[in-house]
Amino acid sequence: MQRIFSGVQPTGNLHLGNYLGAIRNWVRLQDQYECIFCMVDQHAITVWQDPKELTRNTREVAAGMIAAGIDPAKNVLFNQSTVPAHAQLAWVFNCVARMGWLNRMTQFKEKAGKHKENASVGLFAYPNLMSADILIYKATHVPVGEDQKQHLELARDTAQKFNNDYGVDFFPLPEPLIFGAATRVMSLRDGAKKMSKSDESDYSRINMTDDADTIALKVRKAKTDLFPMPHSVEGLEERPEASNLLGIYAALSDRDKTEVIHHFAERQFSEFKAELVDLAVSVLGPINAEMKRLMADPSHIDAVLRQGAERANAIAEPILKDVYDIVGFLRP
């Protein structure tokens, strides 16, 4: 069976982008692949995290995944820092990947902003840890949202360079799996910006913990243009906000975007938004309730993560040992 690895940063609320771009796809893939899903807490601290919040968020993201339908008995679910081999392989990759490759990463440029000298070294080296996350399990497939595509290309380049440098056929070149009607969910306030955990405005995103009233308010306030509902996909790229909301509707209802456009073509935006609220609440409501139930007694989540770490370590340790042998590290 082919192996999947994917991860989420426990840096705040899971939002609709994480759900539609990633987690929902993971739920669908769990029957076809051996899956390893990770709360990447070591990635999270590349920018400052309050320690108590980080612990809480790690549990909450795990709760979100389980509530969304990821079966912890079938899949490996754990937090990154409990499997030391990720950081150990990342060091080897720090010595394989080139500065020039990392300099091209758009996410670093966005996150570091104007003052690159003040960014942590970890933020710059972040993609190497991500390559290690995937390759320490020799994962063949990585389901992610579109924003992670460039990092995955780097993971493939690093795997290839390692194989070439050492004259081995050791690491697979992992394939991105990017699919669904919402691979890049945009902010509800600005159709040119990605929906993200770090946006200052909570109105920019729908969180998986939002209740029905909050979802209704956020969708009602979501930015739209002054034109009527579109009749076709043509020209939709010039209407990013409308396109985004239609994409969200299509993804939530498991329908094709074109079909959704036709369905709403002769109607008002307000009607469309009201139906979008009902749909979002019907999908997210039960997940939200289950998350709350799981978070009320974290001992179950902790047990899941403990067991996940054991299973993950059992896969990762022999692979790290092989890497060390290939590199020539003496282990007397």
Among 74, 111, 161, 218, the active-site one is 111
Binding residues for ligand TYM, per CB under 6 A?
5-9, 17-18, 21-22, 40, 43, 130, 133-134, 142, 144-145, 147-148, 151, 183-185, 194-196
- We find the least distance from the C-beta atom of residue 226 to ligand TYM, in angstroms, to be 25
197 belongs to the catalytic site: yes
Q: Which is nearer to ligand TYM, 130 or 301 (CB)?
A: 130
Is 9 annotated as a binding-site member?
yes
- Give the tokens for residue 292: 């709350």
Q: Structure tokens of 131?
A: 């390559």
Nearest to 105 by CA among 154, 146, 143: 154
* 41 annotated among ligand-binding-site residues: no
208 among annotated binding-site residues = no
DSSP for 134-158? HHTTT-SEEE--GGGHHHHHHHHHH
CB 1 within 8 A of CB 34: yes
111 given a catalytic annotation: yes
Whether 6 has a binding-site annotation, put simply, is no
Measured from the CB of residue 288, what is the shortest distance to ligand TYM in angstroms? 18
Say how far apart CA 5 and CA 301 lie, in whole Å: 20
Q: Least distance to ligand TYM from the beta carbon of 235, Å? A: 23
Rounded CA-CA distance 314/56 in Å is 26
Task: Answer yes or no: is 288 a known binding residue.
Answer: no
- Report which residue's Cβ sits closest to ligand TYM: 21
- The single residue of 194, 218, 257, 273 carrying the catalytic annotation is 194
Cα torsion 112, 117, 123, 127: sign? positive
Distance (Å, rounded) from C-alpha 214 to C-alpha 88? 43
Is 12 marked as binding a ligand?
Answer: no
Question: 138, 149, 161, 197: which one is catalytic?
Answer: 197
Cα 49 to its chain centre, rounded Å, is 18
Helix H or strand E encompassing 270: helix 269-296
Q: Which strand (E) or helix (H) includes residue 325?
A: helix 299-327
- Least gap, CB of 8 to ligand TYM (angstroms): 4
The answer to whether the annotation marks 297 as part of a ligand binding site is no
Q: Is 194 among the residues known to form the active site?
A: yes
Helix (H, G, I), strand (E, B) or coil at 38: strand
The smaller minimum CB distance to ligand TYM, of residues 160 and 270, is found at 160
Give, in order, the Cα–Cα distances in Å from 239 to each of 169, 201, 212, 253: 47, 21, 27, 21
Phi and psi angles of residue 175, each rounded to the nearest 5 degrees, phi first: -95, 130
State which residue, 11 or 288, has the beta carbon closest to ligand TYM. Answer: 11
Provide the annotated binding site: 9-11, 17-18, 133, 145-147, 185, 194-198
Provide the annotated binding site for ATP: 9-11, 17-18, 145-147, 185, 194-198
Provide the annotated binding site for L-tryptophan: 133
Known catalytic residues?
111, 194, 197
